Amino acid sequence: MIAKRLNVKRTGDETGTIEETKRMRCRDLKECQRMKKKKSNRVKSLFNYTGNKYDLLDQLYSNFPKGKHVMLDLFCGGGSVFVNLEDKRFAKTYANDAITPLIEFFRYLQKEKFGVIKKELIKRKIYPKDKAEYLEIRNRFNLHGNFLDFFILSSSCHNNLIRFNRTGLFNQSWGRRGITDYTWKKMKVYHKKIYQNSRFVFLNEDFMNLQVPDDVTFVYLDPPYQVCEAGYNSTWEQKHEKYLYQFLDQLDSKGIKFLLSTMLNHKEKKNELNDKLENFFSKNIVSNYTKINRHKKPTNSQEVIVTNYETDPI
């Protein structure tokens, strides 16, 4: 039977179908190679955020509005989204976050040479040898708020996850780690991307007080997810969630495009304010945060993107 099948002559239509399949596979292979090359050129964040968007960049970027834009990354966090944007499409990007030492560190990377940054960090205890030494750095940071201490803490705390209490004090425990050769390698790559790069403008404002710059045409929002548990969520309250939806309406009324990342539900929790998004477009995305979930188990969660413009179908 196999031999007979191999000897059957193909009709012209069948041959055409086979050739078209080959061409499609070739295109898919080229696209795959192109995407791999693009990913290899991407820069990883220096900060470990629970909702880090590095692994979701393809899904996010493919849904960003077409054309050239001036973007505001309203909750920039670890900086995975803004730092990997295409220069040709986003000639200018505002990166904002309410965490002052985070923005001060980004500004430091932007203006100072890598060798100087490394030297200044080494002057401090970049790898706490024990809990007492870690707590010394933590107490010093909570007293003075130095951005270099902030980076050392983020590199040496438990799971490298930033956490503040409701009074704004850094309270994450010691993680038996610190700045390593791998950290320096990542920092050097990240530094090269933003050093003396004027297309990045860093802002340090609570989003409820921020005046959107006049030249902004697109806003990306990745706020703390109210239904999730994360160390930086401690100060995010219902009033912030309500104002967020008012802010989206304001952007829409001004003709400014936006894309919001949010979670419809997580475990048994649901966002009670999701009905306020019904006037906009939404699309499910595939996300998996179990790598940094302490329980290491898949959860019944659904992350979505919400826009005030139509995106291409999946």
pLDDT tens digits for range 100-158: 999 999 999 999 999 999 999 999 989 999 999 999 999 999 999 999 999 999 999 99
Q: Which pLDDT belongs to residue 302?
A: 84
Task: Please tell me whether residue 143 adopts helix, strand or coil conformation.
Answer: helix
Structurally, at CATH architecture level, domain 56-98+205-314 sits in 3-Layer(aba) Sandwich (3.40)
Strand partners, 242: none
186 token code pair: 């990542």
pLDDT tens digits for range 281-303: 999 998 765 444 444 555 567 88
Quick check: 212 and 72 in contact, CB under 8 A? yes
CA 207 to chain centre: 17
Q: What is the DSSP letter of 218?
A: E
pLDDT > 70 in the chain, percent: 77
Mean pLDDT for the stretch of residues 78-93: 95
Q: Which pLDDT belongs to residue 267?
A: 62
| In the block, residue with structure tokens 């160390």 | 231
pLDDT at 8 over 50: no
Question: Any residues with CB less than 8 A from the CB of 63 and at least 6 apart, and which?
Answer: 259, 283, 305, 307, 311, 312
Q: Which pLDDT belongs to residue 33?
A: 43
Q: Which pLDDT belongs to residue 40?
A: 66
* Nearest alpha carbon to residue 218 among 51, 76, 93: 93
Fold category of 114-198 in CATH? Adenine-specific Methyltransferase; domain 2 (1.10.1020)
> CB-based burial of residue 293 (10 Å sphere; 0-12 exposed, 13-18 middle, 19+ buried)?
middle
37 token code pair: 């090359």
Please give the single-letter amino acid code of residue 118: K
pLDDT tens digits for range 24-41: 555 544 444 454 445 568
Alpha helices in the chain (DSSP H): 2-7, 12-40, 57-61, 80-83, 100-111, 114-122, 131-144, 147-156, 181-194, 238-253
Average predicted confidence (pLDDT) for the chain = 85
- pTM value is 0.83
Q: Where are the chain's structural domains?
A: 56-98+205-314, 114-198
The 10 Å Cβ neighbour count of residue 200 is 22
pLDDT tens digits for range 182-196: 999 999 999 999 999
Task: Please tell me whether residue 49 adopts helix, strand or coil conformation.
Answer: coil
Backbone angles phi, psi at 205, to 5 degrees: -135, 145
